[in-house]
Amino acid sequence: MVPLEREPLASLRREKNFFYPQIDFSAPKALDPLRILIQTLFLMMVCPPRGHGPRLVNTTLAFLRTIGAAINRMGDAFGALALKVVRNLADDSQRYPIKSERKGLSWVSWLFVLPGIALAALCITQPFNLHGQIVFLTFMFCSMIVMTRIRARITLMLLFVISFVVSGRYLWWRCTSTVSMGSGLDLFFGALLLIAEIYAFAVMVLGYFQVCWVLDRKPAPLPKDRETWPHVDIFIPTYNESIDVIKPTVYAALNMDWPKEKLHVYVLDDGSRDYIAAFADEVGAGYIKREEHNHAKAGNINHAMTVTNGEYIVIFDCDHVPSNDFLTSTVGWLVKDKNIALVQTPHHFYSPDPFEKNLHLDRAVPIENSLFHDFIQKGNDTWNATMFCGSSAVMRRVALEEIGGIAVETVTEDAHTSLKLNRRGWSSAFIDRPLASGLSTETLSAHIGQRIRWARGMIQIFRVDNPLFGKGLTLPQRLCFFNAMLHFLHGAPRIIFLLAPLPYMFADIYIIYATAAAVFAYVVPHMVHTAMTNQILQRGYRYPFLSGVYETILSWYILIPTTVALLFPHVGKFNVTAKGGTIGEKYLDWHISWPYLVLMGLNMIGLAIGINKAIFDPNPEYLTLVINLGWIVYNLMVLGASMAVAVEEKEEHRFPRIALNLPIVLEKADGTRVNMRSVEYSQKELRIRAVDTQFEGLADGEVVYVELADGDNCQRFKATTIKTIEGRGIDLAIDLPDTTVERAWNSATFSREGMWAIKPEGTVDDRFLTGFLKLGELSLYGYRSMIEFLPGRVLPAIRDGIRSLLPYRPVSEKRRWSRY
């Protein structure tokens, strides 16, 4: 690849400072292969040698493109062969292509997985000395670099294999060579870390399995004759939410593109409020309440099933607003395949969640739950294990009735219901298209409360209806459901990782009983391969390094509920997540962030001890100190970013605003018509901007009319100017005098076709290094905010505390003392 001279090695011996100045070729050293690899990659990718740069880079890229093309052709041939085998094996392949793909993938995957597992086990358990380990990992690292340059599904699977082997070798080494039996404390802390690492490895492997070949299902067409379309009941359960939260969802349900005589919208009010009943009656929706309020949301839906009779049931949380093409995009699969009981769509949110809002993330950055709802669910669909998420889903009534309705045994009734359906042989589907959007939790404390319920409920399912046991599930289904439950046990492992370097700092306890060189040879490759593979796998669904922040924030708060659920699965109740609130002033939630402060304080003490050891210890173990100090610094970065999430930002608007770029016609009171563009809207407001740079603006309080397209129609609304924003446009208050106009506004905005499938404008730099730098930036913001929002009494208390630690000295013969 680099034919610089006829005898490059001889040239390097003569001028060793040319390409590899750090290598003495006359006296090779053990780590020289690793040095050569690093220097070669640096010369190839970052800083080519003068005079050879273009040739070197072009040759390298051409080589990689050739490899990529060959692998893509191999992948296409493999896929064609697999599909041919499937069609020969499956009688109904032409009728149900998705079912055929699932069958073929399962059959072909097991054909290759079993020998692959045997080969991986051989690679993982093969004993190497330190030099052999370095050579082996050098080969694996080069393979990974090549694979990352090739965009193909099969190369992603090969990356999974490489990551599995490298991490498996690390874990094998940890289990067989690094657990110290010297003292009780060494064994205790070492075993804790090892258990946490085994847990992380299990989650990683199961995650790779879930998404190794995701199914990108598209909507199935409905019959052309609309008269044959089925009756659909839309359930909107509510308990104590405000009417302003409920209205957009009810209007959007009524605005759906579906035969009106076959569309039945019901508000299920567990709060039994008269004004909700009056609103439902006014707009033409049904109203259902019950006398006994047992089993929370699940009981509310089950009661509604007894007084309705639609063939299909659609469930929306009362803040989840669907676009008008929701039914036409989902029901087709239920009509086409009579064995499908559930069609789930992604959960998207039109208001920013606490991470997006408090960390000031761009709207184009994937939100916290995007990884599951936009990616993992597609992998679940591959294995016929799509999970019901409680909202934005269509279900077959006869299937629900067969399992006794929505599950009531746990507080996560949605996931448990989908598990029960799969056990009875029903299939499920996932449409990868946002067709509804809801309100996020407004504060970090509300977010944590919601996740506590989810974590408790998933562990309750693990105890009362464990997917690993019982009849009716395939092995892939068992693994998908099990991984969803296992994920919520991350509380203890995450805390262990945040505290792991401290035993050595505090008491010279070796939690990994090995030389520093061996730690570098095994730990660093494991971390690099895992991080790189996940970064490639999750690109577009999870920003680099934010997973650690998400887990750190929840770790302490889900630890106790999940532990209790493991021991006492029937303890706990359903808590309604508060939605639709506002934040008047910016503040730091000290109460919710106290676990992060404790972990932060311990790590800072460990950092100070480590620096003291490096400077004043007569025989410091520098490599060990570097490893532990680096670990502590990373922990402090994650904890600082976690504190940044606890800084609640002020919300300027009562109703969340949603971006929408559409042509608008503005008509002034004198009849002048001006072409404008919409910028964003809310339930009662609209921001527009002028297309013509000569537009002079509007006076505050000026009455105007705005016209915007709604499908084939044009909607016209009266509005009043709120204010003109320099360089940003004009804010208008829309006049909505009655429910008819409100519903029309909803049709033109919230529920317009494809509204929630519009991707945010802009791009995100989600490279690995950029993500790490972003983590550092968020961490600094968290620490600055801690200083900014210190309570008034804290600074004097800190000052007095420091003064109390100062020594005293005598000042007279009477032994009076003063501070030194």
Q: Which residues are catalytic?
A: 270, 414
**Rounded distance between C-alpha atoms, residue 427 and residue 423, angstroms:** 10
In 3D, which of 791, 781, 687 has the Cα closest to residue 355?
A: 781
Buried/exposed 44-69: b ≥16 CB within 10 Å, e otherwise: beeebeeeeeeebeeebeeebeeebe
Phi first, then psi, for residue 588 (nearest 5°) are -105, 125
Distance (Å) of CA 385 to CA 49, 243, 340, 418, 517 = 52, 35, 12, 8, 44
Q: 643 with 600: CB under 8 angstroms? A: yes
H/E stretch holding 293: none
Phi first, then psi, for residue 93 (nearest 5°) are -65, -40
**Rounded distance between C-alpha atoms, residue 307 and residue 574, angstroms:** 24
Q: Can you read off the two tokens belonging to residue 32?
A: 């020289």
Q: 501 with 507: CB under 8 angstroms? A: no
Q: Can you read off the two tokens belonging to residue 640?
A: 């600082």
Amino acid at 375: F
Burial class (CB in 10 A: 0-12, 13-18, 19+), 406: buried
**Rounded distance between C-alpha atoms, residue 591 and residue 136, angstroms:** 49
Q: 651 with 583: CB under 8 angstroms? A: yes
Give the single-character DSSP code of 375.
I
DSSP reduced 3-state for 588: strand
Burial class (CB in 10 A: 0-12, 13-18, 19+), 123: middle
Amino acid at 195: I
Q: Can you read off the two tokens belonging to residue 752?
A: 């317009």
Q: Provide CB contacts within 8 A for 777, sequence distance 6+.
A: none
DSSP reduced 3-state for 716: strand
H/E stretch holding 738: none
**Rounded distance between C-alpha atoms, residue 95 and residue 742, angstroms:** 44
Beta-sheet pairing, 587-588 with 647-648: antiparallel
Beta-sheet pairing, 312-315 with 232-238: parallel
Instruction: Determine the distance from the C-alpha atom of residue 181 to the mean position of all C-alpha atoms in its chain, rounded to a whole number.
Output: 39
What residues form DSSP beta bridges with 265? Answer: 234
**Rounded distance between C-alpha atoms, residue 127 and residue 169, angstroms:** 9
Distance (Å) of CA 566 to CA 32, 407, 471 = 51, 19, 22
Q: Provide CB contacts within 8 A for 592, sequence distance 6+.
A: 444, 445, 448, 646
**Rounded distance between C-alpha atoms, residue 743 and residue 749, angstroms:** 10
Ramachandran area for residue 237 (φ above 0: left; ψ -120 to 50: alpha; else beta):
beta
